[in-house]
Amino acid sequence: MAELIVDFAIATLGSLLVQETKLLRRVKKEVESIKKELEFIKSFLRDADTRAAAEEEEGSDGGVVSTWVKQVREEAYHIEDVIDEHILSEAKHHEQDGKGLTGFLRKMRCFIKELNVRHGISSEIKDIKSSLADIQRRAKDYNLRHIDQGDVVSHDSRVCSLFIPGNELVGIESTRDQLIDLLVSGTSKRLVIAVVGEGGLGKTTLAGNIYKNDVVKKHFDCQARITVGKECTKTDILRKTIQAFEGVTGSTHGEMDKMEETDLLATLERQLKDKCYMVLFDDVWTTDFWGCIEYALIENNKGSRIMLTTRNRGIVDVIPFVNVHRLQPLPSDKAFELFCRKAFSPQGCCPPELEKLSRDILRKCGGLPLAIVAVGGLLSNKNKVAFEWKKLLDELGPQLGSDSHLKDCNKVLLEGYYGLPHHLKPSLLYFGFFPESYEINCARLIRLWISEGFVPYSNRRTSEQVAEEFLIDLINRSLVQVVKMDFMGRPRYCRVHDLMHEIILRKAEYLGFSHFVNREHSNLPNKIRRISIQGSNDSAFESIKDSKIRSVSLFNVDSLPNSFMTTLVVDFKLIKVLDFEDSHIEYLPKGVGNLFHLHYLSVKNTKVKVLPKSIGKLLNLETLNLKFSLITELPVEIKNLKKLRYLLTYYVRSDWRYGMVKIPAGFGSLLDLQKLGYVEAKFEVLKELMKLRHLRKLAIEITDGNGKDLCACIGNLEKLVSLTILISREEILDIEPMTSPPRGLQCLRLMGNMKKLPDWIFKLEHLFKIDLNLSGLTDDYIRVLQALPNLLQLRLVNTSHDEQLHFKKDWFPKLKVLYLSEFKGVELMIIDKGAMPNLEDLRIGPCPLLKEIPVGIEHLRNLRILLFYFMLKEIYYMIKDEKWKKVTQHIPYVGVMFKMKGKRTYETTKYLLSLSLEDFEQFIEKVERSNESSHP
């Protein structure tokens, strides 16, 4: 972690040296010297981080090496602060340039101020040099080693590998049996089986139980089990494998330490040449693992098997023809069974008065067997009274790192953090910025990472692409959980496990990375970098006015003191991120433009009505999110924000349509803009849009019949991948004249009145998502759309007026998601065999005349979700049909969505099936009454 901060300081110093400002020339040599000293100190950091981690595990957070790392980190922060303050001072100096007498007097005042600043920065740099010299000397005193590559943090992940005895396996018996069957039957070819999952899921326990199974032992001529870990080299793995096979193959190799790689490979080949072997590689961490063993373990057509366990899906992805088993957290019933075994003895049961508390504790464990066993063992020694159990529930996070019963669990979870390369550590720590169990929008997270400076610049890829790779890496390493994916398989929402969140919080505070404050946790250190305010706290900023805060976020804050906004812009002028999404703020202070370093500003879903004119001074702003705020017009000063990449501006009107924010003339100067929406397609706006050649996502509303001009504009935006076009129902949408649509267009959304789909749509080879909300279509558009070669998601709203909706054989060969909404005339839906063979998600409704089961629904063998919207009565008639169970039994989830007390509610058809007609009618009355009472 300290290494990344030092990297950032080095990069910032390098950038400053290039600027050649007058202020810098006097201290240029000193700045160059500081940069070199930091680069030298950086080479010690990985060894120091390793030893500091060991000190932390031993409970000595204040060890000498930990203290040294902390000093390096604080000095790097100090350098960043000095540079940012210098840049801010320069910005103010140029802002005050003017002409005439007034301008001359201002320049004189600035010159005097500059002399003082020069003296100040010179003094600061001398202090930094002196501090770095002391730090470098102490590195030698502590015998820290130079380490230029690799992560050498050493932790034993096998600490609790057999925490559940074989005869006590709970919840993974079926997986065990499947894997055993895969091992002892099937092809004679060599087969690779991988068990993947986060730390604490029981991968080692499962694999060890399989390895010792009698059926498995009898099947193979020889077996070997090797714990790989983080630090094993190729030769280490080969030697361990040979040693593991010694005895079972009848050979000994005492001279292995002297053998070269080729000799080791030859030895393994002789050992296994005529054997049906099984090798279990446990706890694999390195991505080059398969390259180490692919040719070491020969393919002899004897039915041999290689099995491995890992947290990192990325390791498995490079292995050809691998069988991957993603181990899942225990379901609630199995988790409760395991918990009761540990907390109340194998035959014990939970007292009724403790059941709710037990299940609350289990929710914190999140289905991790390691955590369940550890917590259950801890509670087994406590009095079986509610007070004791409630106390553990409230203190589970703090106890994770201190209680002896939970220490091993803490180690296993911490190991994931220690195993990260240094550039990913701040990205993981950033999850501590959000509340526990918070489901984070991945696009929001990526933009925040970029704004914080976690994502390095790349010539070949955009910052967003690099940040997305960071997120995928964290997911593959089983540190981040995907909550929701899109139809392309990309993560949309993510979170971290509650226990991992506790570990991240402690680590972030210990490293000075970030702090959160709420009513229960309001004591803050004097100096912090990032603050997350969770719940109202009137005194959040009182103790930290001397801090160089870079980020402020609000979560579940009902009210704020009047001084809150003033304090932000007056006392914290180095802020990079202000994230007010979903908060109750009603305005932005006029002085917000003084936050020169601000990169990210979000007032999404707030009551903010106006952007102050000073917004035009935020020359470093990259993200401005105004979605669902009350802002209806942007100030003309917005055109000054030349670094802006995201400008999200729409609001929801009283009729639930998107309201267009008025955008001023001159916004064509925002040449870096990548995402813009929603704007009105007036002639002046289209003229400005033509200049935004980097635009990737655009949402626009046609006004005054500007369809032809819009087509010309869009044809000029070659990088466009997502396009939304809206038009009022009174006009007819005519976008046919587009002769050269953007070739890379992937997502298209059309809303309004249109007679015919434009022909250019069918030239878009990369189009995979279409959303049509069109009245007036007269052609057979579904027949035409089905021919699109790469269409994966189709959403149709109010576009069909026929009585029959027919999907024919071979239509939509790749389609995965289909939404059919507001088809008011459709009485019958037919799906031929061979239509939509890959469909996974089908959502229908409201379709008030559709009372029959879609004919041919049984042909959709890959369907996983069948959901009806606002069709409670219609679905009831369907499920009472005797054919219902037969044609839907292959679908895992079948349900209906309706409103209850004004909120969306979901119910399964299984529940509705259990109701008699009388009960169902009472249920309908209850739903209708609740909605009436919610709208007086």
Read off the pLDDT of residues 862-871 as tens digits, 9 standing for 90 and up: 999 999 999 9
pLDDT tens for residues 293-349? 888 898 999 999 999 999 999 999 889 889 999 998 988 888 898 888 888 877 778
Q: How many Å apart are CA 170 and CA 339, to the nearest integer?
A: 10
Give the residue among 693, 723, 721, 696 at the shortest CA–CA distance from 711: 723
8 A C-beta contact, residue 72 and residue 138? no
Q: What is the pLDDT confidence band of residue 670, given thresholds at 50, 70 and 90?
A: very high
Q: What tokens does 789 get?
A: 């070669």
Q: Give the strands of the sheet with 440-441, arranged side by side.
A: 440-441, 491-495, 481-485
Count of C-beta atoms within a 10 Å radius of residue 27: 19
- Torsion, CA 741, CA 743, CA 748, CA 754, rounded to 10: 30
Q: How many Å apart are CA 598 and CA 601, to the nearest integer?
A: 7
Q: How many Å apart are CA 87 and CA 755, to the nearest integer?
A: 57
In the DSSP assignment, the letter for residue 870 is S
pLDDT tens for residues 175-216? 899 999 999 998 899 999 999 999 888 899 899 989 999 999
- Percent of the chain clearing pLDDT 70 (strictly above): 84
- Percent of the chain clearing pLDDT 90 (strictly above): 32
Mean pLDDT for 125-132 is 77
Q: What is the pLDDT of residue 295?
A: 87
Mean pLDDT for 95-111 is 48
Q: How many Å apart are CA 380 and CA 820, to the nearest integer?
A: 54
Is the confidence at residue 782, as pLDDT, over 70? yes
Q: How many Å apart are CA 436 and CA 796, to the nearest integer?
A: 37
Q: What tokens does 468 get?
A: 């997305």
pLDDT tens for residues 377-410? 888 888 888 888 888 888 887 777 667 667 778 8
Give the residue among 903, 926, 923 at the shortest CA–CA distance from 911: 923
How far is residue 284 CA from its own chain's centroid?
24
How far is residue 85 CA from its own chain's centroid?
32
Give the residue among 211, 23, 53 at the shortest CA–CA distance from 113: 23
Q: Which of 71-85, 610-624, 839-853 has the lowest mean pLDDT?
A: 71-85
How far is CA 935 from each of CA 128, 653, 902, rounded to the nearest angstrom? 64, 18, 8
Is the confidence at residue 495, as pLDDT, over 60? yes
How far is residue 868 CA from its own chain's centroid?
29
Q: What is the pLDDT of residue 419?
A: 83
CB within 8 Å of 301: residues ≥ 6 apart: 188, 189, 190
Q: What is the pLDDT of residue 537?
A: 62
Q: What is the pLDDT of residue 830?
A: 94
pLDDT tens for residues 594-639? 999 999 999 999 999 999 999 999 999 999 999 989 898 899 999 9
Is the confidence at residue 272, as pLDDT, over 70? yes
Q: How many Å apart are CA 788 and CA 639, to the nearest integer?
A: 39
Is the confidence at residue 259, as pLDDT, over 60? yes
Q: What is the pLDDT confidence band of residue 413, given thresholds at 50, 70 and 90?
A: confident
Long-range contacts of residues 728-732, Cβ cutoff 8 Å, at least 24 apart:
728/752, 728/753, 729/753, 729/775, 731/702, 731/705, 732/776
**Can you list the alpha helix ranges (DSSP code H) found in 523-648?**
564-571
Q: Rounded to the nearest 5°, which phi and psi values hold at 307?
A: -120, 140
8 A C-beta contact, residue 490 and residue 476? no
8 A C-beta contact, residue 893 and residue 865? yes
In the DSSP assignment, the letter for residue 123 is H
Q: What is the pLDDT of residue 654?
A: 55
Q: What is the pLDDT of residue 450?
A: 94
Is the confidence at residue 779, as pLDDT, over 80? no
Q: Rounded to the nearest 5°, which phi and psi values hold at 124?
A: -60, -45
Q: How many Å apart are CA 717 and CA 694, to the nearest integer?
A: 7
Q: What is the pLDDT of residue 934?
A: 59
As a whole number, the mean pLDDT across the chain is 82
8 A C-beta contact, residue 551 and residue 433? yes
What single letter denotes the amino acid at residue 276? C
pLDDT tens for residues 562-573? 788 888 888 888
Is the confidence at residue 111, as pLDDT, over 90? no
Beta bridge partners of 326: 196
Mean pLDDT for 666-679 is 90
Give the residue among 579, 563, 623 at the shortest CA–CA distance from 599: 623
Q: What is the pLDDT of residue 401?
A: 65
- What percent helix, strand, coil does the chain show, rounded to 5? 45, 15, 40
Q: Are strands 804-807 and 697-701 parallel, antiparallel or unpaired?
A: unpaired
Q: What is the pLDDT of residue 152?
A: 39
Mean pLDDT for 237-257 is 73
**DSSP SS3 for 676:** strand
Mean pLDDT for 59-77 is 74
- Torsion, CA 749, CA 754, CA 759, CA 763, rounded to 10: 0
Q: Which residue has the higher pLDDT, 807 or 126?
A: 807
Q: Which of 69-83, 85-99, 412-426, 446-460 has the lowest mean pLDDT?
A: 85-99
Is the confidence at residue 37, as pLDDT, over 80? no
Give the residue among 172, 201, 171 at the shortest CA–CA distance from 412: 201
Q: What is the pLDDT of residue 746?
A: 93
Q: What is the pLDDT of residue 150?
A: 37
Angle between helices 28-57 and 2-19 (to 10 degrees): 170
Q: What is the pLDDT of residue 146?
A: 59
Give the residue among 313, 246, 244 at the shortest CA–CA distance from 284: 313
**Can you list the alpha helix ranges (DSSP code H) found in 522-644?**
564-571
Q: Are strands 623-625 and 600-602 parallel, antiparallel or unpaired?
A: parallel
Q: What tokens does 811 get?
A: 């239509």
- Torsion, CA 320, CA 321, CA 322, CA 324, rounded to 10: 120
Is the confidence at residue 520, as pLDDT, over 50? yes
Q: Rounded to the nearest 5°, which phi and psi values hold at 726?
A: -120, 150
Is the confidence at residue 643, as pLDDT, over 80? yes
Q: Which residue has the higher pLDDT, 546 or 914?
A: 914
Q: Which of 677-686, 873-882, 910-919 has the lowest mean pLDDT?
A: 677-686
Q: Which of 39-43, 377-381, 491-495 has the lowest mean pLDDT?
A: 39-43
Is the confidence at residue 148, as pLDDT, over 50? no
8 A C-beta contact, residue 307 and residue 193? yes
Q: How many Å apart are CA 503 and CA 479, to the nearest integer?
A: 12
How far is CA 32 from each of CA 13, 14, 20, rounded to the nearest angstrom? 8, 8, 12
The structure tokens 């878009």 sit at 764
Mean pLDDT for 881-885 is 87
Q: Are strands 515-517 and 817-821 parallel, antiparallel or unpaired?
A: unpaired
Q: What is the pLDDT confidence band of residue 105, given thresholds at 50, 70 and 90?
A: very low
Q: What tokens does 722 get?
A: 């997502």
Is the confidence at residue 556, as pLDDT, over 80? yes
Q: What is the pLDDT of residue 929?
A: 84
Is the confidence at residue 538, as pLDDT, over 80? no
In the DSSP assignment, the letter for residue 526 is S
Q: ∠ CA 242-243-248 to the nearest 5 degrees?
A: 85
Is the confidence at residue 53, as pLDDT, over 80? no
Q: What is the pLDDT of residue 253?
A: 57
Q: HSE-up of 601 (CA within 13 Å, CB side)?
A: 29
Q: ∠ CA 123-125-129 to the nearest 5 degrees?
A: 120
pLDDT tens for residues 728-750? 666 776 777 777 788 889 999 99
Each residue of 306-331: b (16+ CB within 10 Å) or e? bbbbbbbbebbeebeeebebebebbe
Q: Are strands 551-555 and 530-534 parallel, antiparallel or unpaired?
A: parallel
Mean pLDDT for 129-157 is 62
8 A C-beta contact, residue 576 and residue 601? no
Q: How many Å apart are CA 230 and CA 410, to the nearest integer?
A: 18
Q: Are strands 893-900 and 577-579 parallel, antiparallel or unpaired?
A: unpaired
Is the confidence at residue 157, as pLDDT, over 60? no
The structure tokens 């209708």 sit at 928
Beta bridge partners of 893: 865
